[in-house]
Amino acid sequence: MTEVHKAGSCRTIKASCSDCSLSSLCLPLAVQAEDLDRLDEIIKQGQRVEKGQHLFRSGDEFKAIYAVRTGAIKTYSITPSGEEQINGFYLPGEIMGMDGINTNHHVNSAKALESTTVCEVPFNRLEELTKVLPGLQRHFFQMMSKEIREEQQLIMLLAKKNAEERIASLLLSISTRNGRRRLSTTAFRLPMTRVEIGNYLGLAVETVSRVLTRFQKQGILAVESKEVRINDYQKLCQIATIQEG
């Protein structure tokens, strides 16, 4: 049982995909303008997930994929020892929930990091639509490929990079993703806590705090609570790619 709440009636909140500022990042990217109405018909827009509530839990039946519209969501699994392991962070315009396609049940749980709205795309309807809109099918496969690539990058990140390189890589990832949304690439708010950053990167929270403080002293960042400003983007890139150089 998920904890998603409607943000009002469909009539009052529904907005066309063509009007959404994130359409260039989302499923509509693969659909011709004349076919957007068909996509609009299947998407359930404006579902609200309050901070700390679940969009879905591990073991829930897989019925849909989701596009984050506002806010942020983390996905996580539970280790054999009963501890939470964060697998990813999803920002506006990004698609999530594809972990359930293989088994028809979600492998991960998804929890809102802050008040969030999502667009729900029923998977059975999406499958029907991809048969008549080849561009949509191609784009969906590309999204799945991107998901696999990012999982591989996370494995590489945890296997090879030290604490400074891991944190620099995460900040650059968020910077790049903000750029795709035409937001600032150098000044942004982190939706996750330092504890969650440490969990995701395999670092103690004290290490995360120390590295951020070190970056500030070096003039690379300015950090105040969750607000981050990158003052030396080139230096941050150099730190993130030390192992690869």
pLDDT for 161 equals: 81
Beta partners for residue 95, in sequence order: 67
Residue 90, token pair as written in the block: 């999803």
Are the CB atoms for 228 and 171 separated by under 8 Å?
yes
pLDDT for 25 equals: 46
User: What phi and psi values does residue 40 have, to the nearest 5 degrees?
Assistant: -55, -35
* Close Cβ partners of 172 (under 8 Å, ≥ 6 residues apart): 236, 237, 240
Give residue 57's Cα distance to chain centre.
16
Q: β-strands 116-122, 64-70: how paired?
A: antiparallel
CA distance 172 to 202: 17
**In a 3-state reduction of DSSP, which class is residue 183?**
coil
pLDDT for 13 equals: 35
Domains and CATH numbers, the chain: 5-157 (2.60.120.10), 162-240 (1.10.10.10)
pLDDT for 37 equals: 66
Nearest to residue 74, comparing CAs of 119, 110, 116? 110
Q: Residues for the chain: how many in total?
A: 245
pLDDT for 139 equals: 74
Are the CB atoms for 74 and 111 separated by under 8 Å?
yes
pLDDT tens sequence for the chain (245 residues): 444 443 333 333 345 555 565 455 465 544 555 566 666 777 787 789 999 999 999 999 999 999 899 999 999 999 999 999 999 999 998 888 989 988 999 999 999 999 999 989 888 888 777 777 777 777 777 777 777 777 777 777 777 789 999 999 999 999 998 998 889 999 999 999 999 999 999 999 999 999 999 999 999 999 999 999 999 999 999 999 854 43
